[in-house]
Structure 1
Amino acid sequence: MKDALEERVLEQALQWIVTLQSGTSGAADQYACQQWRNEHPQHELAWQRLVGLTREMRASTQALPAPSARQLLRARSTPSRRTVLKGFAGLSIASALGLSVRERVLLPELFSDYHTATGERRRVLLANTGELQLDTRTAIDVHGTDLTLSLGRLLLATGANGAMAIRTDNGWVRPWALSRLIISQGLPRQPGTQVQILSGNASVEPLHGVGFHLLAGQQVGFDSRQNGQPSSVPSTAEAWTQGLLIAERMPLAEVLEQLDRYRRGVLRCDPSVAGLQVSGSFSLDHPEASLDLLTQVLPVRVQRVFGYLATVVPA
């Protein structure tokens, strides 16, 4: 098992990589980066791991037989490359735990049938089976009438046929015809898979557990072996489809975790203000404006570095 790296050190390494790849850095930046790498062995270790991941990504892309797949990384814009870099902190932690970078992140984000970038939402029409709306950082694969949700969140409206199933890491969700439901996996503070039935019905089958049935207005979280207790779907469940985050006495740290999914870069919260209660409506399409709005309603301010790293601290 690889040595664990502190999140703070990984974020610093990310910041240096983004700075040096921005196209505007000079000799002073390169010298300062080298000084940072020399300061501590963990700095150099973090640098080497992230650089190694970028090399693996390029090598994996070149190994693909389809020319279109090889062109995908070459065609990505600078902001998109920074979006990919944002996930490297998690990648390095996953790598330290022995997880496969290519299996966990590279394939879902880059080579799924449909995927969304940071801040992007997308509608997908499924032939004769229904319609999808994909949230930011979502990846799915389509296999006939079945879907695989690798990460993220989607809203599914099934057609009159209704003969389809959605696979996640934790099991299967089988909606009935003419149903609307939200399925999510890997969202902040959400272990396992969550299913929210807006209308219609669905069956849920954990990989190694007992299946159960959900009715309209019910939601539940489940993992591969068991499910939680069903509860009522909140009235704000669909707000993200309109680009909104509705907070009702939500801890500031949780609000920032939600905004972070829609913002390019790294967004952090000082522990001293993490528990502040937030109520209001915030734009997911304009996360920087939402951060500024928070400074108007709470005793906080935002420290920004290069427009990439943002930390919410006491005012």
Structure 2
Amino acid sequence: MSLFEPANAQRLDQDVVEQAMLWMVTLQSGVCSEAEHQACYNWRKQSPAHEMAWQRLTGLNRDVRESTHLLAPEGARSLLRARNTTSRRTLLKGFAGLGLVMAAGVGVRERVLLPELFSDYRTATGERRRIYLADGVGLTLDTHTALDTQATATGIDLTLNLGRVLLTCAVPAHITLNTIHGRVQPTTPARLIVSQGLPDLPGTQVQMLAGSASLELTRGGRISLEAGQQLTVDSHGAGQSSQVTAASQAWLNGLLIADRMPLAHVIGQLNRYRRGVLRCDPAVAALQVSGSFSIDQPDASLDLLARVLPIRVQRVFGYWANVVPA
């Protein structure tokens, strides 16, 4: 039977698929006990659907194994124990994304899994969320964003742990937004986007849409940003400032605007909004893409890409998807 489910193949219940995925990452974690091996075997024998889901996932074993081996045994053990208190989907998304996160140089446990579970405000896959902290002070959280808030004697202290947030300060207020690379203090009124840990973004990016702000770097030094400027800061310091483009705000309206953007970058962005795992074959990664794509309907965007580019999309249970040459 083919790994990639054909149109006439027997469809499997999504819960069964997710159970099979969780058993697979458990067995490949390096901290699996003999009892868990036996429990997995017993689960597979409970019904033909269980065994079918397991066999179809066998071809994906290598990807899962390579991802889970990036996590230290202690971290894997803690994450697997969390199965009783968090959703299977959250765990699977976390495990499947380990390779991408580690490649970006971000510590998985501190920068991805824990913030998404324990931050004051967080968004799920495909979710955007508006929050009003005070009169005239609001936030819009992009998908996979985790943020902490703390009231201080002088104002509001924010910490962006992961993701992207639009901060709007319409009235005079003392607001500080902390990131791993620096502290942003807008001069109100102001409107700005701060991003951290996004695909193809090595560091923290501050985009001033209106007003101005002061950026105090973790490594030392202070930089001023005016309306229309954007700046990226990483562990080595700050890069050169550039102009904010209209495309930078497209996510607020559910869109991704590409202007000769590599396909791998487009797929990386859509992966943030799509439940499951989305991969791009290196053979087509450099294809140039221009156009407007829905992030609210990422699978429809994938189908559109397949119509205009020499690619095709292979789907596994509707959860795993690979973009490969046509």
Question: Shorter-chain TM-score: what band?
Answer: 0.7 to 0.9
Report sequence identity in percent. 53
Give how far 1:129 is off.
5.8
Matching residue of 2:138: 131
After superposing the two structures, state which structure 1 stretch, 50-59 or 302-311, moved more. 50-59
Q: Structure 2 CA distance, aligned partners of 1:181 and 1:210?
A: 20
Matching residue of 2:36: none
Q: Structure 1 CA distance, aligned partners of 2:58 and 2:267?
A: 32
Q: Which amino acid in 1 is paired with 2:273?
A: Y
Q: Which amino acid in 1 is paired with 2:21?
A: I
Matching residue of 2:49: 26
Q: Structure 2 CA distance, aligned partners of 1:242 and 1:24?
A: 44
Q: Structure 1 CA distance, aligned partners of 2:128 and 2:214?
A: 26
Q: Structure 2 CA distance, aligned partners of 1:44 and 1:170?
A: 29
2:315–2:322 Cα contact (<8 Å) kept: yes
Matching residue of 2:78: 56
RMSD: 3.7
1:220–1:229 Cα contact (<8 Å) kept: yes
Q: Structure 2 CA distance, aligned partners of 1:59 and 1:130?
A: 38
- Deviations 1:226-279 (CA, angstroms, capped at 9, x unpaired): 211110001111100000000111111111111010011111111121111111
Matching residue of 1:109: 116
Match of 1:278 among 286, 289, 304: 289
Matching residue of 2:21: 17
Matching residue of 1:5: none
TM-score normalised by L of structure 2: 0.76
- Deviations 1:39-81 (CA, angstroms, capped at 9, x unpaired): 99x959958979986762464698xxxxxxx6xx2xx4xxxx3
Give how far 1:290 is off.
0.2
Q: Which amino acid in 1 is paired with 2:173?
A: G
Kindly tell me: are residues 25 and 167 of structure 1, through their superposed partners in 2, closer, same or farther at Cα, counting changes over 3 Å? farther
Question: SS of the residue aligned with 2:200?
Answer: coil
1:209–1:224 Cα contact (<8 Å) kept: no
Matching residue of 1:269: 280
2:20–2:54 Cα contact (<8 Å) kept: no
Matching residue of 1:86: 93
Q: Which amino acid in 2 is paired with 1:181?
A: L
Give how far 1:283 is off.
0.2
1:162–1:175 Cα contact (<8 Å) kept: no
Q: Structure 2 CA distance, aligned partners of 1:224 and 1:50?
A: 23
Matching residue of 1:10: none
1:129–1:163 Cα contact (<8 Å) kept: no
Kindly tell me: are residues 87 and 248 of structure 1, through their superposed partners in 2, closer, same or farther at Cα, counting changes over 3 Å? same
Kindly tell me: are residues 183 and 99 of structure 1, through their superposed partners in 2, closer, same or farther at Cα, counting changes over 3 Å? closer
Give how far 1:106 is off.
3.1
Kindly tell me: are residues 101 and 234 of structure 1, through their superposed partners in 2, closer, same or farther at Cα, counting changes over 3 Å? closer
Kindly tell me: are residues 24 and 120 of structure 1, through their superposed partners in 2, closer, same or farther at Cα, counting changes over 3 Å? farther
2:306–2:313 Cα contact (<8 Å) kept: yes
1:229 matches 2:240: yes
TM-score normalised by L of structure 1: 0.78
- Deviations 1:140-178 (CA, angstroms, capped at 9, x unpaired): 000110100000000010131231100011110111111
Question: SS of the residue aligned with 2:296?
Answer: coil
Aligned length: 285
Matching residue of 1:6: none
Question: SS of the residue aligned with 2:299?
Answer: helix
Gap regions ≥5 residues in structure 1: 1-13, 63-69
1:206–1:223 Cα contact (<8 Å) kept: no
- Deviations 1:189-213 (CA, angstroms, capped at 9, x unpaired): 1111000000000000111221110
2:165–2:193 Cα contact (<8 Å) kept: yes
Question: SS of the residue aligned with 2:230?
Answer: strand
Kindly tell me: are residues 217 and 264 of structure 1, through their superposed partners in 2, closer, same or farther at Cα, counting changes over 3 Å? same
Q: Which amino acid in 2 is paired with 1:28?
A: E
